[in-house]
Chains A and B, each alone.
Chain A
Amino acid sequence: SQQGEEDPQALSIQEGENATMNCSYKTSINNLQWYRQNSGRGLVHLILIRSNEREKHSGRLRVTLDTSKKSSSLLITASRAADTASYFCATDTGTASKLTFGTGTRLQVTL
């Protein structure tokens, strides 16, 4: 079963706009990770946030984590056409050394 559920399922924006994706999960976690998948390719790790962290930045990416609400958000600022991809959150519950992936958000950035 899916641990994480991303929202929205699909998002279409114009280049230069910000994109926000949300992830909700069900059980306590050790860390939460975000991955990007371009069409027909493997997943690429973007950022990892630990359960004792609330916010993390990496370039144009900003991730927040609210463990009381069991939710996380990924913000991509000043989006580019090259950001077009599917984005997945993945949780490590700590009881086992494995990631459970959410359902993904398909982001389309148009010129």
Chain B
Amino acid sequence: QVQLQESGPGLVKPSGTLSLTCTVSGGSINYPYWWSWVRQPPGKGLEWIGDIYHSGTTDYNPSLKSRVTISVDKSKNQFSLRLNSVTAADTAVYYCARWSDGYNLYFFDYWGQGTLVTVSS
């Protein structure tokens, strides 16, 4: 059973950098999946941030692309998110998830529990 777990600071100062790590257990991050970040502001809907493929290829939401970097550390079975120049609008629960496929149909099948990141001075 694949499990994902987010970790990182819960409080970030405005204009600072948000950094989170997702640790994958129960399976190798080196398998051919996309590994994703999704966020949810309090009381609001879901927003896809971006993905990284096991090879290191990335795909980002254009609305965040200038501020986002997603990277992978295969030796630790982890992938990470960095979001620069944060503002209060970046306050959200951040989820890591696996983008998987079945018969060429794609979906998020495994999710972390989520971690709340608050941007405040």
Q: Do A and B come from one complex?
A: no
A residues with a Cβ closer than 8 A to B are none
